[in-house]
Amino acid sequence: MSDVLELVDVSVVREGRALVEQVSWSVKEGERWVILGPNGAGKTTLLNVASSYLFPSAGSARVLGEQLGRVDVFDLRPRIGIAGIALADKLPRSQTVLQTVLTAAYGMTASWREDYDEIDEQRARAFLDRLGMNAYLDRKFGTLSEGERKRTLIARAMMTDPELLLLDEPAAGLDLGGREDLVRRLGRLARDPFAPSMIMVTHHVEEIPPGFTHVLMIRQGKVLTAGPLDLELTSSNLSHCFGLPLVVEHNGNDRWTAQGLPLK
């Protein structure tokens, strides 16, 4: 299996401080990774490196077989789909849902051309349908609820037919029904052998979709553990990661839960 991502001793330093420090991590084709860690641990920073928007201060990063620094990022970026909070703020609020997804085909945040190919429109409609958004095609992006916006962003990220899909807290802000719906849809995607490799950042093990295979835990910029979920998502590792005693359970539906230990 070839490497989708290979970081060797990657550090990102800003204002004299390492946001991520000597991270070595490799993601192989077909793996679906979840990144867990407290606020400020460096999760989004790692995704920014993986998406080629951030260049490491030290170490080497290969993304989809290309060495950052030796590849034209404008060739690489269309091969990577990103859905994150930062992107939602950059998209025009007055654009319709369909336009918001369509503009991804051209790597733009704004809709500036009217002559989208029929085939692109069909693809945009199909992705929106897959995410349960077909009733919202003509709604303005700015009027969507948090959950509807999240689903639109994932459809948008799929539009370039990426080889790597990066999701930064896709379920944050969703109500219980919205979360369960999204986890189910991501689970379906995770088990689709033709779907891209996936890396998802989350704060909650309850949001790990069935079909995800690996976990990276990070704390204060450093990797605590990285490997198969079944081996590494343990009470001991998670407690260490979040700095308090936690009990992790894996239930029969391939879902996870974590709880703090009751006070004695």
3-state secondary structure the chain: CCEEEEEEEEEEEECCEEEEEEEEEEEECCCEEEEECCCCCCHHHHHHHHCCCCCCCEEEEEECCEECCCCCHHHHHHHEEEECHHHHHHCCCCCEHHHHHHHHHHCCCCCCCCCCCHHHHHHHHHHHHHCCCHHHCCCEHHHCCHHHHHHHHHHHHHCCCCCEEEEECCCCCCCHHHHHHHHHHHHHHHCCCCCCEEEEECCCHHHCCCCCCEEEEEECCEEEEEEEHHHHCCHHHHHHHHCCCEEEEECCCCCEEEEECCCC
133 or 154: whose CB is closer to ligand ATP?
Answer: 154
* Total residues interacting with ligand ATP, rule: CB under 6 A: 11
Verify binding: residue 37, ligand ATP, rule CB under 6 A.
yes
188 or 222: whose CB is closer to ligand ATP?
Answer: 222
Verify binding: residue 19, ligand ATP, rule CB under 6 A.
yes
- Sheet containing 66-67: which strands, arranged edge to edge? 17-28, 3-14, 58-63, 66-67
Verify binding: residue 15, ligand ATP, rule CB under 6 A.
yes
19 or 157: whose CB is closer to ligand ATP?
Answer: 19
Part in contact with ligand ATP (CB under 6 A); list of ranges 13-21, 128-136, 138-146, 150-158: 13-21
CB of 138 to ligand ATP, least distance (A): 32
Position among 39, 114, 119, 193 found at the interface with ligand ATP (CB under 6 A): 39
Verify binding: residue 42, ligand ATP, rule CB under 6 A.
yes
Verify binding: residue 41, ligand ATP, rule CB under 6 A.
yes
**What's the distance, CA 164 to chain centroid?**
9
Verify binding: residue 45, ligand ATP, rule CB under 6 A.
yes
CB of 240 to ligand ATP, least distance (A): 16
- Residue 39: which of ligand ATP, Mg ion, none does it interact with, CB under 5 to 8 A by kind? ligand ATP
Part in contact with ligand ATP (CB under 6 A); list of ranges 38-46, 117-125, 158-166, 174-182: 38-46
Strands 17-28 and 66-67: unpaired
**What is the end-to-end Cα distance of the chain in Å, rounded?**
48
CB of 49 to ligand ATP, least distance (A): 10
5 or 133: whose CB is closer to Mg ion?
Answer: 5
Verify binding: residue 2, ligand ATP, rule CB under 6 A.
no
Verify binding: residue 14, ligand ATP, rule CB under 6 A.
yes
Binding site for ligand ATP (CB under 6 A): 14-15, 19, 37, 39-45
